[in-house]
Structure 1
């Protein structure tokens, strides 16, 4: 009687790398992107899967990536609606089967040909491989200016860790960092800042950002402002602390001035109104400090992460 049980050698090899591609209305560029991407996959010496995340596209993107999924090396995941790139990336990270993931856009501004170099850096021992833009002359002046402003503000408001400049979501995330991100709630913060917060061995690889091959950017001015606000509010209470200091100093100076007026001049209702406003500002600052403390306590990020455990 012949046994039908599979031996361990019959099982497929584990997937080492997932290439995670968020998509939103990218039908114009997908064919060119997929051809270049699969040419790179053929060259890689590790088992690799391609995971497309359809972020509620309204064009033919869903049908195109479903067609690509007929290839056993490619899968597609469809979100119910457009939740935004952050949500799409987190959904892809939770769905990825690879030990490591590389996140890249399909507009070809982030060349797929750089993937082997990223894998090489990972195998050198780096848990995070950030692709750092050496130049971005292809971007409009306003976008370049707001990007510089964003990184300058983050440098001033975040003290606990460094946020590398000119680094987008084009990066490799290794197994340990991937496990740490998955262990946290989806509201743990903006992914590009969260990856820096983790503190795992990181390297930056410089590259020249390319012009978009087709379609238009899905980032509006409003969404960029929201991204900046989320980056700050999730990782820093310094704006609140600065307001508290300003309120305290204003209250102290105002109180001294009003005391001087009451001693050497005539105290009017306007002076009392000013003192009441200053007292209100100080009270708001105190309440804000406690709100900030609550934010840190309920944050889904742990207080620390272990680099390794002793055997």
Structure 2
């Protein structure tokens, strides 16, 4: 399968492909990068195969890039994709997948809520023949009750609205993907990206691995409730036109109600005459109909805005600098004498 052209990698020198690639998007994570890499290295070395890690710096404004460059000087298995500005996590994740060359690609976050120690279980599922092995949260430490409940409601909503695309509940981006599933995913170049939905959309044999999600190791989350709300909108509008259908059904229901109400008024006028209508009831009807119209226009506008962004044909991201990794052969213990 032909892989899509990768911005910033057109003149990269081909190198031997490692067995594993780890893709880590990050934004302003200077407090935790070194701790994450220190935990990742022994986990990957125990797997006994060549590996690389692709850190995607999504326009960080702190010392994240400087820390990555220092780590890269000490460990050539590190690759750095430095984006020209902040494009958002979904785009940064795509940039990392574009530059990953492994036979199997692991996607994870740098905040250590998804422990690197779970990676061997993902690899075991891949070696069983599964193309996608996703980590499913058994426990969500470090999250408020409100966040857990809203996440639960969102997954339930997506199960009902997603149609043929089923997003596993309590599942984030933490997963392992085979080479062919990554290549299939990279054919999807839409700008409004909801990666959890895209992971599910490509299909391929999948397996869940249960794990306990840890609290954030350091720093603060970059996902406030407003950003989570916008991400939920991306997920809903990317994988279903149900909001448009709801607007249609709501308009139909209001029309039927208005027709029935008009009939009642005609009958009352013929029987009891034409009394002056009350001001409160008129205002209530006007405000109700105006609200329905504005809401319907808003739903249409959400979809129209996404079409507008897609037809402009802009690249998903721009790479300011790409430092390719240099995977080294895995160290193996010498054979013991008989």
Greater relative contact order structure (CA < 8 Å, 6+ sep)? 2
With structure 2 as the length reference, what TM-score do the two structures score? 0.75
- String of CA shifts for 1:215-254, please: whole Å, max 9, x gaps: 1111112111110111101111112211211211220221
Cα distance between partner residues in 2 of 1:299 and 1:247: 28
The 5 A counterparts of 1:31-110 are 31-70=34-73, 71-110=75-114
Q: Where in structure 1 are there 5+ consecutive unaligned residues? A: 1-10, 301-311
The 5 A counterparts of 1:112-123 are 112-123=116-127
Given that residues 22 and 52 in structure 2 are in contact (C-alpha distance below 8 angstroms), is that contact kept between their aligned partners in structure 1? yes
* SS of structure 1 residue aligned to 2:186: helix
Partner of 1:6: none
Deviates more, 1:285-294 or 1:46-55: 285-294
Given that residues 241 and 289 in structure 1 are in contact (C-alpha distance below 8 angstroms), is that contact kept between their aligned partners in structure 2? no
Q: Say whether 1:178 aligns with 2:182.
A: yes
Partner of 1:134: 138
With structure 1 as the length reference, what TM-score do the two structures score? 0.81
How many residues of Structure 1 are paired with residues of Structure 2 in the alignment? 289
- String of CA shifts for 1:174-214, please: whole Å, max 9, x gaps: 22221122112142630111111112111111000112111
Cα distance between partner residues in 1 of 2:28 and 2:98: 22
Pair 1:113–1:248, CA change in 2 (3 A): same
Q: Where in structure 2 are there 5+ consecutive unaligned residues? A: 1-13, 312-338
- String of CA shifts for 1:128-181, please: whole Å, max 9, x gaps: 111011011321222212211221221232222211111011111222221122
* SS of structure 2 residue aligned to 1:98: coil
Match of 1:261 among 259, 265, 270: 265
Match of 1:189 among 188, 193, 215: 193
- String of CA shifts for 1:80-122, please: whole Å, max 9, x gaps: 2222211110111111122331111111111111111111111
Given that residues 161 and 240 in structure 2 are in contact (C-alpha distance below 8 angstroms), is that contact kept between their aligned partners in structure 1? yes
Match of 2:225 among 221, 227, 240: 221
